[in-house]
Structure 1
Amino acid sequence: MDLKLKGKRALVTGSSSGLGEAIVKMLAAEGASVVVHGRNIERARKVSEDIISSGGTADIAVGDLSTDEGADAVAAAALKNGQIDILVNNAGATSHKSWGDATTLDWTEMYNNNVVSYVRMVQRLVPQMKTLGWGRVVHIGGGLGIQPIKEQPHYNATLAARHNMSISLARQLKETGITSNVVSPGAIINPMVEDWLISAAPKFSWGTDLEEIKYKAVQELIPNDTGRFGEPDEIAGAVAYLCSTFADYVSGATIRVDGGTIKCM
């Protein structure tokens, strides 16, 4: 299927590795010109070079979105070679601290990194989308924002804020041709998660085979209807759909890509 992204230009924050990398590469494969963002220029350049070597078009934007100055630098770099039609807010931080460990400073820093950073990029890029009469804003949320657990409360709360602000933005952008939506991933496998699973396996008696470890971890920690972890490309596919013209009638929505982990309507 042609998602009709040729001629569109997309900035994916936090795309020099992980989930953001999968998203930016899929958008590029679908024909969009992309801007790879990260705080490390070498990693951002590597992803950009991968895209270009595969026949895509990519620029880089380096900066720390936890500051106004960093966001200014990223926006300027992103807009240097053309308009931005698509903003995918993906960059952020995580923490496994509990209620007893997370200080008020931890809460403040988490909110700044995970929510205010999104706001900074919306404020810097959506106004020029309005002059185009078309645009896409996709926020990466998470199931813990819908059904939080007792651990990492400050992180859970920022995911809920992302969902809330995205819907508010959709209302604000009424009849502008710009949509605002959330993709809410479940537990996604990546090398870091695999390393954690292997190290945790003896504690939970999950065995030594990685596939067996992953299956048992899903059953005990994140039971879902598919019986497995998600893959980064499965999240990227949902993002790509929301960025396409086929999603013109989708705004203020949350698309859960979690294998049925969250049990709600």
Structure 2
Amino acid sequence: MQIELKGRKAIVTGSTAGIGRSIAAGLARAGASVVINGRGAERVDAALRELRALLPDADFTGVVADVSTPEGSAALEAQVKDADILVNNAGTAHLNGFFEQKDSEWLDLFQLNVMSGVRAARHYVPGMVKRGWGRVVFISSESAVMIPKEMIDYGVTKTAQLAVSRGLAELVGGTGVTVNAVLPGPTRSEILGNWMKSTAEEQGITQVEAEQNFLKTMRPTTLINRFTTTDEIANMVVYICSEQATGTTGAALRVDGGVIRSIP
């Protein structure tokens, strides 16, 4: 299968590292011009330098904007007026205790993980509908289905993304715009990778051993018995952004290594 995205403009929020950066690289390899986004100029500039070195023929631009806020979302929209592909990847997670958490922590996480994608879709999707073609992808998580007791707030935000994704797909049905969600499982991304690295150092073991311990205790239903790579997540995203994926919309697509124990 040859995926061709030349002439398409893509925005990937939260794309200076991890899954977002791999998605940006994958879309660029397929020919799309890609907007890199992050909160700080230093990280955006570093990502641009490294991606341009990796893919010298690709078209990358960078936008510094904190999309967890309405002001930051507006700044992104002002600098990038329209897009053919929108990947709502910006998000984070924190270990926490449910009974100790403050309302402000819940609301801050919801702003980043959910409202950043809501605001971006509200701005960019009408243009896609008008042009008769578009792709919207929400990067959710297997935690949307299997809510982690150590991060209930995170699971709630990821479930909310599935609801937004499906509802938006219903809203734009028949227009040539598809909307889907992707559910990664435990992935060697920046956030989880750093956590595993820190755990390994504290316990005097290797990172691979720390990952195996995590899977055995926290995600024992894994079928691949390892963390997925960011490129494996990106491969799914690039496909559903392609012309070949016109029949896939309103879906929650797993790249979870078989963690979720259900058929649909």
Q: Same fold (TM over 0.5)?
A: yes
Q: Which amino acid aligns with 2:228?
A: G
Question: Which residue of structure 1 lines up, in the alignment, with residue 60 of structure 2?
Answer: 58
Does the CA-based 8 Å contact 2:185-2:257 persist in structure 1? yes
**TM-score (norm. length: structure 1):** 0.92
Q: Residues 198-237 of structure 1 correspond to what in structure 2 (within 5 A)?
A: 198-201=197-200, 208-223=205-220, 224-237=222-235
Question: Which residue of structure 2 lines up, in the alignment, with residue 98 of structure 1?
Answer: 97
The farther-off stretch of 106-115 and 120-129 is: 106-115
Q: Which amino acid aligns with 1:76?
A: A
Two-structure CA RMSD over aligned residues (Å):
1.8
Alpha-carbon spacing, 1:89–1:105, altered in 2? closer, same or farther (3 Å)? same
Q: How many corresponding residue pairs?
A: 260
* Partner deviation per Cα, 1:155-203 (whole Å, 9 max, x = no partner): 1100000001100000000111000000000000135534433443588
Rounded Cα–Cα distance in structure 2 between residues aligned with 1:71 and 1:202: 37
Does 2:30 align with 1:33? Answer: no
Question: Which residue of structure 1 lines up, in the alignment, with residue 262 of structure 2?
Answer: 264
Rounded Cα–Cα distance in structure 2 between residues aligned with 1:214 and 1:92: 21
Rounded Cα–Cα distance in structure 1 between residues aligned with 2:66 and 2:207: 35
* Partner deviation per Cα, 1:57-76 (whole Å, 9 max, x = no partner): 01111111122221111012
- Name structure 2 gaps, 5 residues minimum: none
Alpha-carbon spacing, 1:105–1:239, altered in 2? closer, same or farther (3 Å)? same
Question: Which residue of structure 2 lines up, in the alignment, with residue 125 of structure 1?
Answer: 124
Q: Which amino acid aligns with 2:33?
A: S
Does the CA-based 8 Å contact 1:102-1:154 persist in structure 2? no
Q: Could you tell me how far 1:6 is from its partner in structure 2?
A: 1.1
Secondary structure, in 3 states, of the residue corresponding to 2:3? Answer: coil
Does the CA-based 8 Å contact 1:183-1:255 persist in structure 2? yes
Q: Which amino acid aligns with 1:64?
A: D
Q: Which amino acid aligns with 1:157?
A: V
Rounded Cα–Cα distance in structure 2 between residues aligned with 1:52 and 1:44: 12
Does the CA-based 8 Å contact 2:187-2:193 persist in structure 1? no
Question: Which residue of structure 1 lines up, in the alignment, with residue 70 of structure 2?
Answer: 68
